[in-house]
Amino acid sequence: MIQFFKNPNYDIIGKRKIATIISTVIILIGIVSILIQGLHYGIDFEGGTLIQLKFANKTTAGELRDLLKNPELGTPVIQKSAENEYMIRVKSFGTKNIIIGKIKDDLKDKKFEVRRVDKVGPKIGGELRTSGILAIFVSMLLVLLYISIRFEFKFAVGAIIALFHDILITLGIFSIFQWEISMPVLAAFLTIVGYSLNDTIVVYDRIREDRAAYRNTKSFLEIINLSINQSLSRTIITSLTTFLVVFVLVIYGGETLFGFAIAMLIGVVVGTYSSAFVAAPLLIYWQDKINTTKSKKRLR
């Protein structure tokens, strides 16, 4: 039998203070970055025009930047998507082919094939953003409800905070590196919602089971630590396989899937960490708080 952990018994709960500090710092850095440089929305959410061109001959991004001098294009964002293949993005959205025509005009000396044209009006972009955020919140609310029914309310709160934690960190990293937030990235975020919950539930499920078994012999703190350790193998193995599969997407998926894959990759890592170091310890903080208020009441 191959095992990564033989009878693991780590003091994970004991490290909860350090974990809290690490998480808080990372989230704060992310929030500062979001406040200062904001998020880099793609045309899906901001509106604009994107054209993807494949050139017959060797072409560099610098060359394209020099060619695209038309003042009406503003500063086009040029991004390489494959060998001699580029995505050119402009902020303006023309219902007619004015923008596309101008780009084609500027590049008329080069031979290329138009592989993709996306034009999104500013209004629809804003709507997509709103409905995306709405989707995240609605799913959170429903999950809160589900966990409250299946477990307890405090478990639900713990799971949702862990979820916020994961999404905030991922968003923060996207802001720090100014990676583009497009439709697929939003899908990845929603998958992180599912994945993070999945991980948290597995640990919670174990806590629920152990609590019934050791109610009289072990303290709540000990039970939680035991449960995290018991589910450690599973957490690591599952995360590792998912990580490997998503890693393949990062390497092989190309520019179109990069945003999606990298968001998933971050989500898997952060989700695994948070299920052990955030979601479970949160139950203790909660318990402590109840105990202190109870004892205060008793003192009075």
Partner 1 sequence: MSRKLIFNYVIIGLLLIWAVYELAPTVRFEQLTQTEKENLKKEGKLSDLKSKIIKRGLDLQGGMHLVLEVNVPKLVDGLAKNKSISYYDFIEKVNKKHKENIDEDFFNIFLQEANNSGIRLARYYMDRGHQNKDIVKSLQKEARESVTRALEVIRNRVDQFGVSEPTIQRQGNKRIIVELAGVTDVERARNLIQSTALLEFKLLKDATIAQDAINRIDQVIRKEKPNTNLTDTTTQNEKILEKSSEDKAVSLEDIFGITETNATDKSDSLRDSSVTVDENIVAERPFSSLLRNLGRIGTGVPAENVFAVKKILNMKEVKKVLPADLEILWSNKSEILTTQSGEAKEFYVLYFVEREPGLTGQHVTDAKGTIASMSSNNAGQPVVHVDMDSEGAKIWSRLTGANIGKRVAIVLDNKVQMAPNIKSKIPSGRTVIEGLSNLEEAKDMEIVLKAGALPAPLDIIEERTIGASLGADSIRKGTMSVLIGLFVIIIFIVFYYKGSGLIAFFTLVLNIIFVLSILAFLGATLTLPGIAGLVLTMGMSVDANVLIFERIREEYKKGKTVRSSVENGYNRAFITILDANLTTLIAALVLWQFGTGPIKGFAVVLFWGIIFNFVSGYFISKTIFTTITTRKIIKKLSI
Question: What is the footprint of partner 1 within residues 41-100 (CB under 8 A)?
Answer: 52, 54, 72, 92-99
Nearer to partner 1, 62 or 95 (CB): 95
The set of residues, in sequence order, having a beta carbon less than 8 Å from that of 8 and lying 6+ positions away, is: 229, 230, 232, 233
Query: Distance between CA atoms of 182 and 33, rounded to whole angstroms?
Result: 19
Scanning residues 146 to 175, which ones bind partner 1 (CB under 8 A)? 146-147, 150
20 or 41, CB closer to partner 1? 41
**Hey, how many other C-beta atoms are within 10 angstroms of the C-beta on 8?**
16
Out of 9, 178, 241, 291, point to the residue binding partner 1 (CB under 8 A). 241
Q: Which of residues 22-41 bind partner 1 (CB under 8 A)?
A: none
Among 22, 142, 213, 290, binds partner 1 (CB under 8 A): 142
What is d(CA 28, CA 16) in angstroms, rounded to the nearest whole number?
18
Residue closer to partner 1, measured from CB, 21 or 145: 145
Q: How far is the CB of 18 from partner 1 (least distance, A)?
A: 27
Q: Are 65 and 90 in contact (CB under 8 A)?
A: no
Long-range pairs for 145-148: beta carbons < 8 A, 24 or more residues apart: 147/201, 147/204
State which residue, 61 or 245, has the beta carbon closest to partner 1. Answer: 245
Site string for partner 1, 243-282 (x = CB under 8 A): -xxx-xx--xxx-xx--x---x------------------
Q: Which is nearer to partner 1, 34 or 249 (CB)?
A: 249
**298 and 225 Cβ atoms separated by less than 8 Å:** no
The pairing of beta strand 77-82 with beta strand 40-41: unpaired
Among 117, 176, 221, 269, binds partner 1 (CB under 8 A): 117
Euclidean distance between CA atoms 263 and 246, whole angstroms: 10
> Closest approach of Cβ 138 to partner 1, in Å?
5
